Amino acid sequence: MFGWRTVRRVYAFFFFVLLIFFLWVTDFQHLKGYAVTLFLELDPLTALASVLTSHTLYKGLAFALLIVIPTLFLGRFFCSWICPLGTLNQVVSYLFNRRRPADAYPVNRYRPLYRIKYYLLAVLLVFAAFGSLQTGLLDPIAWIYRSFVLSVLPAIDRVAQGIFTFPAVFHGGVVVSFLFLVVLLANRFITRFWCRTLCPLGALLGVCSSWSLWRIRRDVDRCTHCLKCLQSCQGAADPDGAVRHTECLVCMNCVEACGEGALHFGLARPRSSVGRPLDVGRRRLAESIVCAVAAFPMVASSRSSRTTPDPLVIRPPGALPEEQFLARCIKCGLCMRVCPTHVLQPALLEAGLEGVWTPLLMNTMGYCEHYCVLCGQVCPTAAIRPISVQQKVGVAPFTQPVRLGTAFFDRGRCLPWAMDVPCIVCEEACPTSPKAIWYETTEAKGRDGRKVLLKRPFVQPDLCIGCGICENKCPVKDKAAIRVTSVGESRSRENRMLLKS
């Protein structure tokens, strides 16, 4: 007969492998209806925060109820049975945080430090209520998706090619890598540091588990206070005393460790000890809410893509208008995983502090493939709507293509314009029909007086969709002679230049 701990390990392993599998198949060749967004949709924090920002529980986000409702009865089982980041933290702690029992007790005791996650949760939810979805910064599911997409998978691809078509290089990827490694390293000093201290999802589930009926219970008569349970407690829930159910990760380690049979998971028995409620009083909670309410207008008063259209904030095809986009994007990076050309890159501060790690098109890295709509297909929150190819390119019944921006020539850098050298690679690659780039055949006189026939290119702005292939394929490599900016993007009513469009 296997113990509960073994069963939990099997579950955790299964879900971790499932995550890797989902990330592996999230590309053009393998994406065949797999529920690659499952973990993001199961995430109650994403569901709650996006309901606050946009007043709707979008499609698959309803799956979050599959986690919330059992949590109300069973406690934070998600954290040690399902959460892939929790599993990773646990494995790293298990391998690198090995201590003698006497040293393990203080590490696994509850500390007031662990209240931080509840304050973070309060701040993130207040921001969401104001329309700014920032949970993705610290949501463990978004965190692990992003870390794998922008850091771990590219690292694997570097050694063993085959994950990405083109070399996966991500803007500011080193920041994501660094934070990911710091979180893993923190386990060396405090077991499951992230889960105990920072995780806002854990905090949300902790609040939910305040009312759980099935819990870890300690029989006060049988308990000899040997502290064996504390030695392997993952959540720092004080199983040897009045158990902190909001911190308990239901890992079952204590039940397995107890030699006296004093601990069990279930309903209270006649001699069960009392539990301890959430260690965040009403006053502390009110303080953090007041702080967030006061801070938001200050943060929002900064110039950003929300307040002012930015030429380089070019969003994926099907992206919602910027304000709604920022209210729905959870920065998981799945669109960047599936993008075949890697034109989708994580923003650092280009779109303001709010827009950190949201997807931008950087045409030096790739271009938007004309018939590709994969980013919208994998977006769990429809920050990028799932549009069809017909809708994107504007064939019947659609009348207009989806425009991402407009291309502009830099005639001081363009070979035929500035240097009398034939080129028009941009025209060759332009995917629209008729092409948005056209040319005029002109006769130019070179330095030595010799005549050269040149084709000098122009952009016809009402045909340009802003895909950026012209910029990407321009032989003026470092800073192309034709560049796309966001003006003319379909999703914006303000960021327009033509009267007729």
Partner 1 sequence: MAERRRVEKCHDTQPLLSRRAFLGRVIGVSAGAAGLAGGGYWLHGDEPMRTPEVLVRRIKDFRVAPDPLRPLMAVVRGARTTPMVQEAVEKLGGISRFVARGDRVLLKPNVGWDRQPEQAANTGPELVGAVVQMCREAGAASVWVTDVSLNDPRRCFVRSGIETAVHAAGGQVRLAGREDFVETDMGGKVLKVWPVARFFHEVDKVINLPIVKHHSLSACTLSMKNWYGVIGGQRNRLHQAIHDSIVDLATAVRPTLTIMDATRVLKRNGPTGGNLADVARGETIIASLDEVALDSFCLGFLDLLPDAVPFLALAQERGLGKVAWRELSVVHSQVG
**Beta partners for residue 95, in sequence order:** none
Q: Is 392 in the site for partner 1 (CB under 8 A)?
A: no
Q: How many residues bind partner 1 (CB under 8 A)?
A: 37
Give the residue with the Cβ less far from partner 1, 422 or 446: 422
Strands (E), 344-432: 344-346, 359-361, 406-409
Q: Is 422 in the site for partner 1 (CB under 8 A)?
A: yes
Instruction: Name residue, tokens 């199961």.
Output: 42
We find the least distance from the C-beta atom of residue 439 to partner 1, in angstroms, to be: 7
- Binding partner 1 (rule: CB under 8 A), the pick from 429, 444, 463, 496 is 429
Give the residue with the Cβ less far from partner 1, 162 or 297: 162
Q: Which stretch binds partner 1 (CB under 8 A): 1-9, 210-218, 231-239, 467-475?
A: 467-475
Alpha carbon of 72 to those of 75, 250, 266, 285: distances in Å?
6, 13, 14, 21
In sequence order, the 6+-apart residues with CB closer than 8 A to the CB of 6 are none
Q: Is 2 in the site for partner 1 (CB under 8 A)?
A: no
Q: Is 415 in the site for partner 1 (CB under 8 A)?
A: yes
**Beta partners for residue 408, in sequence order:** 483
Q: Is 439 in the site for partner 1 (CB under 8 A)?
A: yes
- Binding partner 1 (rule: CB under 8 A), the pick from 5, 276, 370, 413 is 370
We find the least distance from the C-beta atom of residue 292 to partner 1, in angstroms, to be: 35
Q: Is 385 in the site for partner 1 (CB under 8 A)?
A: no
Give the residue with the Cβ less far from partner 1, 287 or 428: 428
For residue 397, whether the previous peptide bond is cis, meaning omega lies within 30 degrees of 0, is yes
Number of CB atoms found within 10 A of residue 225's CB: 10
Q: Is 116 in the site for partner 1 (CB under 8 A)?
A: no
Taking CB under 8 A as the rule, which mask of x and - marks residues 324-363 in contact with partner 1? ----------------xx----------------------
Alpha carbon of 19 to those of 14, 27, 135, 301: distances in Å?
9, 14, 20, 38
C-alpha–C-alpha distance, residues 391 and 265, integer Å? 53
- Binding partner 1 (rule: CB under 8 A), the pick from 455, 460, 461, 463 is 455
- Binding partner 1 (rule: CB under 8 A), the pick from 14, 28, 96, 211 is 28
- Binding partner 1 (rule: CB under 8 A), the pick from 177, 324, 364, 432 is 432
Give the residue with the Cβ less far from partner 1, 320 or 335: 335
We find the least distance from the C-beta atom of residue 226 to partner 1, in angstroms, to be: 21
- Binding partner 1 (rule: CB under 8 A), the pick from 6, 56, 161, 388 is 161
C-alpha–C-alpha distance, residues 417 and 474, integer Å? 13
Give the residue with the Cβ less far from partner 1, 270 or 397: 397
Q: Which stretch binds partner 1 (CB under 8 A): 44-52, 123-131, 160-168, 284-292?
A: 160-168
Q: What are phi and psi of 7, to 5 degrees?
A: -60, -45
- Binding partner 1 (rule: CB under 8 A), the pick from 65, 103, 213, 277 is 103
Q: Is 477 in the site for partner 1 (CB under 8 A)?
A: yes
Local structure of 469: helix, strand or coil? helix
Q: Which stretch binds partner 1 (CB under 8 A): 127-135, 224-232, 238-246, 365-373?
A: 365-373
Give the residue with the Cβ less far from partner 1, 303 or 477: 477
Stretch 162-181 residues interacting with partner 1 (CB under 8 A): 162, 165-167
C-alpha–C-alpha distance, residues 374 and 341, integer Å? 11
C-alpha–C-alpha distance, residues 211 and 180, integer Å? 33
Q: Is 474 in the site for partner 1 (CB under 8 A)?
A: yes
In sequence order, the 6+-apart residues with CB closer than 8 A to the CB of 229 are 239, 240, 253, 254, 257, 258, 263
Among 291, 289, 284, 296, CA closest to 122: 289
484: left (phi over 0), alpha (psi -120 to 50) or beta: beta
Q: Is 101 in the site for partner 1 (CB under 8 A)?
A: no
Instruction: Name residue, tokens 């380089």.
Output: 312
C-alpha–C-alpha distance, residues 369 and 460, integer Å? 20
Q: Is 292 in the site for partner 1 (CB under 8 A)?
A: no
DSSP 93-121: HHHH----HHHHHHHHS--GGGGHHHHHH
Contact residues: partner 1, CB under 8 A: 28-29, 99-100, 103, 161-162, 165-167, 340-341, 369-372, 415, 421-425, 427-435, 439, 455, 473-475, 477
